Structure 1
């Protein structure tokens, strides 16, 4: 009781506010067809937030911007030029990204550890988005092999500086992203 007002959080049985309870509530608000979202502590918060927004279809693709009344020259995907640039299309469906997704699914080819694999998925989506932004804002097209290199280096830096793995050697990491587990 504070000044005659009872401050109770309806998300918990004790009435105490907990971030975890709010996160679970928000996760349950996400449409069923996209799967469950998980925060990965080894991944920077801006990337976790981006993935969370992408799973909700809330990233600023040209289609989404046009729907919100923003004046865009074209809603056609700047990467492939074939389809509307929806959040799903820009991150998973345009033709040149299939090689990057194949690379990510085969990288390491060792028994998969769930958290690391989830981090790899986030690195893939994050770097696809960054390559799209290079094309849109700097008029530079990134070759899929460059995106693959960025995925490897991104995951390496996330794990080295944010993860619990102590001494990861670059040469081993490039061959096996599950090193140190």
Structure 2
């Protein structure tokens, strides 16, 4: 730890690894503090842990010391994270974000893992990417927050830090369910921004602001169902009119029909995955669209998509939906290695796909592609199930009628 050089004590610290640039800066500050400290040569010296009354190190005393530091999120804020409103992995993610422990580009640059010229925000390219900029101050992120606030007719000057925003994220409402929705929206918005950031960096994919807005509302609808509160609206209804989320419990509405629909969805067997597809056709506007959702045997969402397509009659559109999800499946080796079930509510589309030949002449290319993929490239089957098992896919297909481009999200 040190030695006497005549009447002067010199500190000599040994480290278990090579110090990085930011470590050297902290070492300099430590040595500067230690310059004023030296052992007493006239008595026995020993190390003590001052924050503990017994002078011994304990995790509890360290936690208390960190809580008193303004640089760390107070423990009172942590209590508002673990409410079970969102999946546990999202709660853990928010915990890391509030602590400033995410591997942002700014942090990776500071640790000399990436060069400084790669540390800029993936959304705006104008600032270094740290949590507060990425989730609050970037124009892209601010637009998402302002969109959510504008739904409820609110204007808010966002605070300087993410932990301040979290501590202030309360709504004045007598509707207990909307209070939970409002709290969950913080988690979902931050999670959506992080997922979009990763998609742009690692997969070179990007969503438009409108697509991100829709995905936020979709996640909110999915996770509300895990609260066991009466919820009478479908995902499509929430997407079309988000204001329906307010005043649900005060209105004492009847039990949700969407839950009854979901009961009809049957999970695939262990290690299998299931695609549900559906199509939508609007004869008044001559528009067609398709949608689909991929789930595992636990019912967890893996992928979903919604896409406008050229106008076709409804059975042809159903074939197009199966064709599209097979292409998505083949594009992902991780997914295509599983046993896959493709489930459609169109008996004609399923029959054409399973027949060795035949079907409408104008669908020959897609049908032959589907037949070849099922027989040679995938361990898969196409089956027919009633419309009640396709609530989510039906909602995604209807959304496609309002889209200009395909929306696809891996969850």
Q: Name the TM-score class by shorter chain.
A: 0.7 to 0.9
SS at match of 2:118: coil
| TM superposition score normalised by structure 2 | 0.35
Which has the larger strand fraction? 2
Relative to structure 1, the CA distance from residue 107 to residue 149 in structure 2 (aligned partners, 3 Å threshold; closer, same or farther) is: same
Task: Give 1:121's match in structure 2, choosing from 186, 189, 192.
Answer: 186
Question: Residue 230 of structure 2 is aligned with which of 148, 158, 166?
Answer: 166
Count of residues in Structure 1 that have an aligned counterpart in Structure 2? 158
| Kept in 2: contact 1:108–1:177 (CA 8 A) | no
For the pair 1:101 / 2:145, whether they are aligned, the reply is yes
Preserved CA contact (<8 Å) 2:144 2:213: yes
Query: Is this contact kept in 2: 1:168–1:179, CA < 8 A?
Result: no
Distance 2:213 2:134 in 1: 16
Residue of structure 2 equivalent to 1:79: 123
Whether the 8 Å contact between 1:40 and 1:119 is mirrored in structure 2 is no
Per the TM alignment, residue 173 of structure 1 is displaced from its structure 2 partner at its CA by 3.2
C-alpha separation in 1, matches of 2:190 and 2:87: 13
Tell me the alpha carbon deviations over residues 146-168 of structure 1, each in whole angstroms, 9 at most, x when there is no partner.
111111001110001x1122343
2:377 aligns with: none
TM-score, length basis structure 1: 0.74
Please report how far the alpha carbon of residue 172 of structure 1 lies from its aligned counterpart in structure 2 after TM superposition.
4.4
Higher relative contact order (CA 8 A, sep 6+): 1
> What is the match of residue 139 of structure 1?
204
Q: C-alpha deviations, 1:35-56, integer Å up to 9, x for none?
A: 7241231211111111111111
Structure 2 gap ranges (5+): 1-62, 154-170, 250-411
- Give how far 1:71 is off: 2.7
1:70 paired with 2:113, answer: yes
Counterpart CA distance in 1 for 2:111 and 2:186 is 28
Shift of 1:141: 2.4
Kept in 2, the 8 Å contact 1:165–1:180? The answer is: no
For the pair shown, the structure with the greater C-alpha radius of gyration is: 2
Map 1:30-69; keep pairs closer than 5 Å: 31=70, 36-37=77-78, 38=80, 39-69=82-112
Deviation at 1:29, TM superposition (A): 6.7
The residue aligned with 1:16 is none
Query: Is the alpha carbon distance of 1:33 and 1:115 closer, same or farther for their aligned partners in structure 2, counting shifts above 3 Å?
Result: farther
Shift of 1:100: 1.1
Answer whether contact 1:123 1:154 (CA < 8 A) is retained.
Answer: yes
What 5-or-longer segments of structure 1 have no aligned partner?
A: 1-23
Distance 1:136 1:29, change over 3 A: farther
CA drift at 1:34:
6.0
Larger deviation, residues 122-131 vs 133-142: 133-142
**After alignment, is 123-132 or 90-99 more displaced?**
90-99
Distance (Å, rounded) in 1 between the aligned partners of 2:238 and 2:71: 35
